């Protein structure tokens, strides 16, 4: 059970890291799009670096948990990073959550739950 919780922590770190990096890149402006100067600007951005740190931490935890739980258990749990990303992206973007995003999040939760339950009751 501990490794399942750690896998969810890895998903949360990854989802939040993606959002922070994307938000920082978006704030850099479209004039730097696909230019090397964008990377130089982002490396000096604290939010982008925090996102990078969260991604690295999430990947390290994920790699460690893969040695303790099967891939069939960890991978569905890691898809919940999308839910954590949505939870952080909404306040950062100051946009309302659309109906389709709520439905997508619910479908993802239902799928992960169904898959996890089916793995729990699998006969040996």
Could you write out the three-class secondary structure of 33-56?
Answer: CCCHHHHHHHHCCHHHHHHHHHHH
Q: Which of 11-15, 75-79, 88-92 has the lowest average pLDDT?
A: 75-79
Q: Which of 90, 17, 103, 96 is nearest to 52 (CA)?
A: 17
Let me know: does 15 contact 81? Beta carbons within 8 Å: yes
Cα angle 42-89-59, degrees, rounded to a multiple of 5? 65
Q: Which of 14-28, 64-78, 97-111 has the lowest average pLDDT?
A: 64-78
pTM above 0.85, yes or no: no
Share of the chain above pLDDT 70, in %: 91
Helices (H) and strands (E) in the chain, counts: 6, 0
């Amino acid at each position: 059970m501990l490794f399942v919780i750690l896998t969810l922590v890895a998903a949360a770190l990854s989802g939040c890291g993606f959002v922070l990096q994307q938000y920082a890149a978006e704030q850099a402006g479209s004039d730097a799009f696909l230019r090397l100067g964008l990377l130089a600007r982002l490396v000096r951005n604290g939010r982008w670096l925090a996102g990078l740190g969260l991604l690295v931490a999430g990947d390290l935890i994920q790699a460690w948990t893969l040695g303790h739980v099967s891939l069939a258990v960890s991978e569905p749990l890691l898809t919940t990073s999308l839910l954590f990303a949505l939870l952080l992206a909404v306040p950062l973007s100051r946009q309302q959550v659309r109906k389709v995003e709520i439905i997508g999040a619910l479908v993802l939760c239902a799928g992960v739950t169904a898959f996890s339950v089916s793995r729990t009751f699998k006969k040996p």
